Structure formats: C-alpha cells, structure tokens
Amino acid sequence: MLLSSESRPATPRAADPLVAFAEIRALVLPVQRHYVNQLAPPVANIAGYHAGWLDEFGENLADPAGKALRPVLAVLAARAVGAPETTAVRAAVVAEMIHDFSLLHDDVIDGDRQRRHRPAAWVVFGTHAAILAGDALLAAAVRLTAETDRSADRRAVRRLLATVRELVRGQTLDVTFENRESVTPDEYSDMAQGKTAALLSCACSLGPLLAGAPDAVTGELAAFGFQLGMAFQFADDLLGLWGDPAATGKPVLADVHRRKKSAPVLAALNSGGTDARRLAELYERPGALSDDEATEAADLIERCGGKEWAEARAARHTASALTHLHRVEGEAEPLEELAALVRHITHRDR
Amino acid sequence: MLLSSESRPATPRAADPLVAFAEIRALVLPVQRHYVNQLAPPVANIAGYHAGWLDEFGENLADPAGKALRPVLAVLAARAVGAPETTAVRAAVVAEMIHDFSLLHDDVIDGDRQRRHRPAAWVVFGTHAAILAGDALLAAAVRLTAETDRSADRRAVRRLLATVRELVRGQTLDVTFENRESVTPDEYSDMAQGKTAALLSCACSLGPLLAGAPDAVTGELAAFGFQLGMAFQFADDLLGLWGDPAATGKPVLADVHRRKKSAPVLAALNSGGTDARRLAELYERPGALSDDEATEAADLIERCGGKEWAEARAARHTASALTHLHRVEGEAEPLEELAALVRHITHRDR
C-alpha cells in the first residue's frame, strides 16, 4: 500500500511500536477470526463480539477494537527465535483466545458491565453465553496448540495449561481480596503475577516452544514476558490514578472515585501513620467522594509513598524485562521491536 | 479385605455391575483426589465439595456421593483393550474431571440449586467460585491427559477437546430451547448427543487412545459409549416421568410438576391432535399443577405416544450399543462387565 509521505511521515519501525502493532494485528486477525468462526454458531458470534469484530447483531464492525498486546508479543517473540510465520501467528491466536476466555469469565465474575468501551458480552448475550463462549475459547486454544504432530506441541500445551492454572489462581485471589479488610502490596503482586504476568510470559514462550527453540532462549523470553507483565500492571495502576484524562479517556482520578485498591493505594494504606489512616477513612466510607476528597485521597496516596513505591516497582520490573531480553540470542529486528514495545508500555499515557 | 460370607453373599462380578462400580470407584477416587488437591487451595476445596468428598467447610465426608458412571466406563473400556491399570485410572480421572467441569458451569447457567442431593457449589461458594473451579478442572483434565511423553497422548488430548466442544454445543442448545416455543424430538436428540453421549463416548475412548489400541477397536468403543449415552438419556427421561418414587427418591411425576420438556413430552407435544393441544395447555399455563392435572398430563403424554416413542429410542440405542460392544475384540471379563452395565443402566429404576 502506498502512503503519502506528506500526510504520514515515514518512521523507522523499531522507533514506533504502533506500526508493529498495526502490522501484526492485520496479520493475526484473519487467522483468529478463522478459528473463532469454527466454533458453534452462537458461540462464534459471542466470541466475535467480545473480541471486537462483530456488533451485537453479528454484523461486521468497520474498525475492530483492541490493541492486541498479547498477539504482538507472541509474534515478535516467535520471530526473535526465527520461527516460521505460521507458527508465530498460531502462537498469537492461541494467546489472544486464552486472553478472551479469561476476560469473558472475569467480567461475569466481577460483574463488570464494560469491556473495550462496549457493553460486556454477558450484558448483551447473558451470563450463560459468556461462560460457554469462554469454555469454548479455552478448548479451542488448546486444540490449536495441539494441532500438528510435532513433539514441540506437547510442551506448548503444558505451558498453556499451567498458564490457565495461574489465571484461575490470580482471579481467585482478586475475588478474595474484595472481601478482605487489608491486602499487602506483596499479596497484590502475587495476584498480578497470576492475572497479568503469567499470560504475557506464556505469549512470549508459545512461539519459541512450538518452534523448538533452545530451552535457554525460551526461558529468557518467558522471563522477559513475565517481568513486562508486572511492569505493565504497575504502569496501569499509576495511569488509573495520575493518568491524563485527555489521553486515557477516563475521568480524572477514576480509580479513586471507584475506590479501586490498586498497587499504589495498597502501599499507602499499609504505610502506617496519620495520612494512611485518613486515606483508609476515605476509602472505607460509604457514598461517593467529592472531587475535593478525591484530590485529597490522591495526595495522601502520594504522601504515603504509594506513587513512589509503584513507580519503583514498575521501573524494577522494566529493567528486569530488558535484562532478560538482552540475553536472548536471536533475530535483531524483532528483538529491537520488543525493546521498543517495553518503552511504549512503560511510558505510555493511556 | 476379608468379607464375611454370611453377611455378603459372593456374586459373580459380571452379574452385578454395582460390585464393579464400587471396586472401580475405590480405585479411581484416591487418584482423582490427588489431582484435584493439586489445584490452588480454595479451588481444590470447591472441586472436592462438588465431587462429593468434602463438606462445605472442607472436612472429609464419610461416604462420598456419586455413582461414577464415567470412571467405571473409562476403566472397563481401558481394561477391555488390555491397557495398563495406571492408564485406565488416568482415563477415568480425566473423564470425571471433565464431567465435573461441565456440571459446575451448567449449574450456574441453569440456576440449578441442587446437585447430587446437596446444594450446588455456586450456592455454597458463589458463582465466581463455581466458574473458576470449572475452568481449573478443565485445564487440569487436559494437563493430565498430556502428562506423559507418548505420542498417543496427543490424540487423546484432541479427543478431549472435541468433547468439550460438544458439551458446549449441547448446553448452548439446551439454553436456547428454554426460550423457544417448540422443540422437535430430533433437536432434543441433537442436544443429548452433545450434553450426554459425547462425554460417555469420550470416557470409553480415552483409555484405548492412551494405550494406543487399534483404531477399529477404539472406534467401536467410542460408538458403544455414544449409543449408551443416548440410551441413558432416554431412560433417564422415562424415569423422570414414570419412575417409582421409592426408588428414584424424587416425588411422583417430578418432571411433570417441573414442566420439564424431556424427550417423551416433546414427542407427545409434536404429535398433533386434541390430546397434544391439551398437554401444551397444561405445560404452558402459569402456576403450579394440581396432582390431578399432573396425572392427566402424564396420561396425555402416554396417549400421544410419547412414552412408547422414548422407549423405542432407548431400546434402539441400547441395541446399537451392544452391537458395537460385541464387535470389540478384547479382554472377555471387562467386556462382559460393560454389557452388564448396559443392562443395569437401561433397566435401572433410579
């Protein structure tokens, strides 16, 4: 496709991960749709709505939503070990299907009514539909992983199932935390390992496993994905509190108004002292917070060291991710793109 | 263990499938518990409660519930092809885990509050717990199937995932039928194929697949399980209407009072004529049925040919099951026990 150089200045790919995102998304999406369409008809429609390419009536949407972080990671990690493109795409589809399975069930469990800026699947199609579509996607993802007759598949299947176990563990902790008076930052990290980091790690190792890459290389890419997942979680928590509303599209201090006990909040609440007690008071009090109270809460979180702590954790995991990435001996271009992706994720504004 | 011959008369095993049931259950249960206990703690407790060996506080029950039909089929089918006992037990645990996954989700979806004569898991532990425990069991079952490094595993994994696909399809149809004005007996059969027959077929083929039995033998055992599953469903529907309350433990005409549209009811409703219209009237009318009306409905179902039709279907599937079973060239004793099991299931009174 020809692009006008006036309207779209050419940028080196590694410098702009959004270009890689768009390219990989265009590569993966048709294959993902192909496999989702093989599910039984109502399930395929529900999964297609949830994934973002269908509307609630089963009609195609012009501009499918979603930033496809896991497919991008999967494709770049597979390319980094020189895997064939078909293997890279297969890994990407599997990772995204597992992500979608997990989100479909989590939204039912958490009662979250919004997903990807639209009503959640269970709101549109019912709880039963979201549970069954999740089940079908989980089974389809494992089936796709076990599709060929190469022995490498078996290790990828085991990795995938260990990841599902972690996702369930993380979501179970998350639900448990809702009913507990206090949660330590370490417990929160443990939950994030299961809910977020495990799948990013899996996305980075599926391609290498399927391609039969050396264990040492696969291990470094898995560790890279894990650390990136943790950095992603802390960066996300910081954006929920101090993100620019113009960039995030969410109201100012959205997570304070929702009283979401994200990492900076938990660190602040666990810091002890007068400020922490006042913060706990604001978070436990029934009824909505005024804008002044929300601002006060955000200031308290910062004064209690919550922001600094979360920033330090994000930085530590980012550095660790890059350390593991630099140890990977593989293809230069995809490795550079992965490094650019780290910077994009940890310095993003939305 | 010594048994007193006075208190427990010795019976030839093949003549009494309940002896085989008890023996196999005792063999499989400890292994099943071992694998379920490897799940994350709250999930293990929920799965153990649902499976019937734990109470709601996580304490052991003296007398675990459940008749373990799928484990019994799996063990006998594996023994029929001369599979090692460990393979037979593995197949049984996998089949029962998949059954439990499916029941945990189905009870949430259908809002069924009772399971195995106790409150359903979601009633005791919450919807989130039942969904997550189901997810964990599904993943654990596939993991257990893919555990060894023999190439036979891969075929068993694919079979298992195809079965999950069928379970989802069957449950989706079942939910859809609830909101439809009329369902044909053929559509009902299609649903039963997915919800019931697919898993019994899978239970009968897992052991042979894992043991690398010849395709022809595995195919006959799979077909046997499928036909047995269909016979089981029709026999179950007949018991729900004309079963002896003393034997079933359910009230007289339980399925009529619940207005459950099981196979005989659908056949009757689709028969046309005055009796069918009167039956439809009773089934669509809001409010509870009186005992006289329930008796009238049962008579109408019989007069419209619903009972005869369902009995004919049960007999046809039973005969087909036995035909496939007799084609299996394998170990005599387990094959005899499978034949005895067919008679037990299709002539059972509860």
Q: pLDDT per residue over A318-341, tens digit each?
A: 999 999 999 999 999 999 999 999
Give me the pLDDT at residue A2, please: 35
Average pLDDT of A180-203?
Answer: 95
Give me the pLDDT at residue A117, please: 84
* DSSP secondary structure letters along A268-330: HHTT-SHHHHHHHHHHHSSSPPPHHHHHHHHHHHHHTTHHHHHHHHHHHHHHHHHHHHHH--S
Within its chain, how far is the Cα of A152 from the centroid?
A: 26
Give me the pLDDT at residue A96, please: 97
- Is the pLDDT at A193 greater than 60? The verdict is yes
Average pLDDT, chain A: 90
Percent of chain A with pLDDT over 70: 94
Give me the pLDDT at residue B247, please: 75
Q: pLDDT per residue over A35-65, tens digit each?
A: 999 998 889 999 999 999 999 999 998 776 6
Query: Which bin fits B305, alpha (ψ -120 to 50), beta or left (φ > 0)?
Result: left
Give me the pLDDT at residue B179, please: 80
CA A293 vs CA A174, A253, A259, A282, A307: distances in Å: 26, 11, 12, 8, 18
Give me the pLDDT at residue A20, please: 77
For B194, the token pair is: 């997915």
ipTM for the assembly: 0.88
Tell me the pLDDT band of B350, cut-offs 50, 70 and 90.
low
Q: Do B127 and A109 touch (CB under 8 A)?
A: yes
Q: Are strands A118-119 and B114-115 parallel, antiparallel or unpaired?
A: unpaired
Give me the pLDDT at residue B66, please: 66
A161 touches chain B (CB under 8 A): yes
B150 touches chain A (CB under 8 A): no
Question: Which of these, B17, B28, B164, lies nearest to B91 by C-alpha position?
Answer: B28
- Is the pLDDT at B29 greater than 80? The verdict is yes
Chain A interface, mutation test: which of B101, B142, B166, B202, most A Cβ atoms within 10 Å?
Answer: B142
Average pLDDT of B95-123?
Answer: 94
Which of A128, A134, A142 is facing B142, going by the closest CB pair? Answer: A142
Q: How many CB pairs under 8 A join A and B?
A: 122
Which of A127, A139, A158 is facing B161, going by the closest CB pair? Answer: A139
Q: Which residue has better confidence, B288 or B246?
A: B288
| CA R_g for chain B | 21
Contact list in A for residue B106 (CB cut-off 8 A) is none
- Is the pLDDT at B51 greater than 80? The verdict is yes
Residue A350 CA to residue A239 CA, distance in Å, equals: 7
Residue A104 CA to residue A326 CA, distance in Å, equals: 35
Q: List the Cα angle A135/A141/A142 in 5-degree steps.
A: 95
Q: Among all residues of chain B, which has the CA nearest to that of A148?
A: B154
What H or E segment, with its residue span, contains residue B118?
strand B118-119
Percent of chain A with pLDDT over 90: 74
**Long-range contacts made by residues B51-58, C-beta under 8 angstroms, separation at least 24?**
B51/B96, B51/B100, B52/B116, B52/B118, B53/B29, B56/B119, B56/B124, B56/B125
Question: Which of these, B146, B95, B128, B79, lies nearest to B332 by C-alpha position?
Answer: B79
- Is the pLDDT at A162 greater than 80? The verdict is yes
Residue A48 CA to residue A61 CA, distance in Å, equals: 10
Residue A285 CA to residue A167 CA, distance in Å, equals: 31
Q: pLDDT per residue over B289-339, tens digit each?
A: 999 999 999 999 999 999 999 999 999 999 999 999 999 999 999 999 999
Tell me the pLDDT band of B258, cut-offs 50, 70 and 90.
confident
B148 touches chain A (CB under 8 A): no
Domains annotated on chain A, with CATH: 14-346 (1.10.600.10)
Residue B132 CA to residue A102 CA, distance in Å, equals: 10
Which of B43, B154, B168 is facing A136, going by the closest CB pair? Answer: B168
Q: By three-state DSSP, how is residue B270 classified?
A: coil
The segment with the largest mean pLDDT, out of A159-163, A179-183, B150-154, is: A159-163
Chain B interface, mutation test: which of A36, A45, A94, A142, most B Cβ atoms within 10 Å?
Answer: A142
Q: By three-state DSSP, how is residue B40 classified?
A: coil
Tell me the pLDDT band of B250, cut-offs 50, 70 and 90.
confident
**Dmax over Cα atoms in chain B, in whole Å?**
63
Q: What are phi and psi of A118, to 5 degrees?
A: -135, 165
Question: Which of these, A130, A119, A112, A115, lies nearest to A46 by C-alpha position?
Answer: A130
* DSSP secondary structure letters along B76-103: HHHHHTT--HHHHHHHHHHHHHHHHHHH
Q: Do B164 and A135 touch (CB under 8 A)?
A: yes
Residue A110 CA to residue B166 CA, distance in Å, equals: 27
Q: By three-state DSSP, how is residue A184 classified?
A: coil
For residues A94 and A144, is the Cβ–Cβ distance under 8 A? yes
Residue A101 CA to residue A132 CA, distance in Å, equals: 9
Q: Do A168 and B40 touch (CB under 8 A)?
A: yes
Q: Do A131 and B149 touch (CB under 8 A)?
A: no
Q: Which amino acid is at B334?
A: P
Q: Do B168 and A132 touch (CB under 8 A)?
A: yes
CA of A46, closest CA in chain B: separation in Å? Answer: 12
- Is the pLDDT at B201 greater than 90? The verdict is yes
Average pLDDT, chain B: 90
Residue B207, burial from CB neighbour count under 10 angstroms (0-12, 13-18, 19+)? buried
Give me the pLDDT at residue B200, please: 98
Contact list in B for residue A110 (CB cut-off 8 A) is 128
Q: Among all residues of chain A, which has the CA nearest to that of B142?
A: A161
Percent of chain B with pLDDT over 70: 94
Average pLDDT of B104-110?
Answer: 95
Tell me the pLDDT band of B248, cut-offs 50, 70 and 90.
confident
**Long-range contacts made by residues B56-59, C-beta under 8 angstroms, separation at least 24?**
B56/B119, B56/B124, B56/B125
Q: pLDDT per residue over A218-243, tens digit each?
A: 999 999 999 999 999 999 999 989 98
Tell me the pLDDT band of B147, cut-offs 50, 70 and 90.
confident
Average pLDDT of A166-195?
Answer: 93
B141 touches chain A (CB under 8 A): no
Q: pLDDT per residue over B202-213, tens digit each?
A: 999 999 999 999
Residue A65 CA to residue A132 CA, distance in Å, equals: 22
Q: Do B154 and A158 touch (CB under 8 A)?
A: no
Q: Are strands B114-115 and B118-119 parallel, antiparallel or unpaired?
A: antiparallel
